[in-house]
Amino acid sequence: MGGDISLFGLADLPETSQWAEQFEHAIAAARAGDYQLGRELCASALLDAQPLLARSERQLRIAVTALLLSGCFKLLSRLVAALTGNSVRVALVQSRRASDAPLRCHEDMQGPIVMVDSRWLADLSVSDPFLVGWCQELASGKAYVGNLQSQVQVKSCHIPV
């Protein structure tokens, strides 16, 4: 990731500098194993940042990275719902095989669920190709679970996010 939020131009924007720093600290805390602090920082930053995130895919990417790394799956689900009008649940799983896709889609009686492989999260950065594509779709309001699957080259299930 590089760790420098200024690489994305966020620190230069006065209205985003405080929450951008909070997301950066959340990422650092999660990488250091302090997931509780990461979640607290994400929750605080998301309250201020949410209205601005839809305007910039790169701002959204840093927020989604922080939410994923900190294990803020309910907050991520709420952010997706706010941006797209549709809900999705996110769950952390440990894949049995290295060849498994980092994200898999499943639908149960409660709706769509995206299962995130914990090994993928260990190496996640804001420049991850999947994350870049998904955040572009989220920022445009056109994200679908089927699109998630096609980005990670597994069978699409065409469930709206």
| Cα(38)–Cα(102) distance, integer angstroms | 22
* Closest listed residue to residue 82, CA positions, set 46, 129, 32, 136: 46
Predicted local confidence at residue 19, as pLDDT = 80
Decide the pairing of beta strands 89-93 and 103-108: unpaired
| Cα(145)–Cα(26) distance, integer angstroms | 26
User: Residue 106 burial by CB count (10 A; 0-12/13-18/19+): exposed, middle or buried?
Assistant: middle
pTM for this entry: 0.74
Per-residue pLDDT for 36 more than 90? yes
Q: Convert the pLDDT of each residue in 131-155 to its tens digit.
A: 888 888 888 876 655 555 444 433 3
Per-residue pLDDT for 51 more than 90? no
